[in-house]
């Protein structure tokens, strides 16, 4: 079954300025991945082709990197998306009077993993991406945009926090 998920943000800025967001991924000056709220993106060799890593239980390898324009991550056969044959990528798309910063997930999987994506992973992914696009917008334009999480996302995060607390034996379980 096919999965396609797209998020984008429009900027009234030049391509090279918006491209800085992609170039900052997994680095110390990151302005795109929302590490304050989510598990960080980690790449063993930084943002370059062949680098492996991921975020949490999502594992991938950098398959393409064009500085300031595009970063493509091929899903590995490990982690939560092991049965998912696909990729995710960030790209900068020039338009006449603006620039688009886009993130896409695309791939194929079986019915079980399609359901897991749509019920569990996808909603969390959507919240993470909107937080990241807010972060990029705020960094590049000086705005202070914050997207709210819906009830389902808050519930899933609560369940994940409970699971983690049980696994670590933390007395501060929510």
Alpha-carbon distance of 10 to 98, in angstroms, equals 7
Using an 8 Å Cβ cutoff, are 32 and 136 in contact? yes
pLDDT at 174: 43
Q: Look at residue 172 and tell me whether its pLDDT is greater than 60.
A: no
Task: Decide which of 84 and 7 is more confident.
Answer: 7
Give residue 18's pLDDT band: very low, low, confident or very high (50, 70, 90).
Answer: very high
Give residue 56's pLDDT band: very low, low, confident or very high (50, 70, 90).
Answer: confident
Alpha-carbon distance of 39 to 125, in angstroms, equals 11
Please report how the helices 122-141 and 151-168 are oriented relative to each other, as an axis angle in degrees rounded to 10: 100
What distance lies between CA 137 and its chain's CA centroid? Answer: 15
State the CATH architecture for 2-164. 2-Layer Sandwich (3.30)
Average pLDDT, the chain: 93
pLDDT at 92: 98
pLDDT at 156: 94
pLDDT at 171: 54
> Could you read off the pLDDT of 23-40 as tens digits, one per residue?
999 999 999 999 999 999
Beta bridge partners of 10: 100
Query: pTM to 2 decimals?
Result: 0.91
Alpha-carbon distance of 22 to 42, in angstroms, equals 14
pLDDT at 57: 86
Domain ranges of the chain: 2-164
């Amino acid at each position: 079954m096919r999965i396609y998920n797209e998020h984008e943000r429009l900027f009234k800025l030049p391509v090279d300025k918006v491209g800085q967001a992609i170039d900052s991924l997994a680095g110390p000056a990151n302005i795109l991945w929302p590490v304050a709220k989510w598990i960080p993106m980690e790449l063993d060799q930084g943002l370059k082709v062949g680098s492996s890593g991921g975020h949490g239980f999502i594992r991938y390898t950098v398959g393409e990197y064009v500085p300031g324009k595009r970063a493509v991550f091929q899903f590995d056969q490990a982690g939560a998306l092991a049965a998912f044959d696909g990729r995710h990528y960030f790209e900068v798309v020039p338009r006449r009077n603006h620039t688009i910063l886009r993130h896409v997930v695309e791939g194929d999987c079986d019915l079980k993993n399609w359901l897991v994506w749509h019920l569990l992973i996808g909603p969390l992914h959507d919240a993470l991406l909107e937080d990241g696009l807010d972060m990029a917008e705020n960094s590049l334009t000086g705005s202070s945009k914050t997207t709210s999480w819906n009830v389902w996302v808050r519930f899933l995060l609560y369940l994940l926090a409970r699971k983690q607390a049980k696994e670590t034996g933390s007395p501060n379980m929510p």
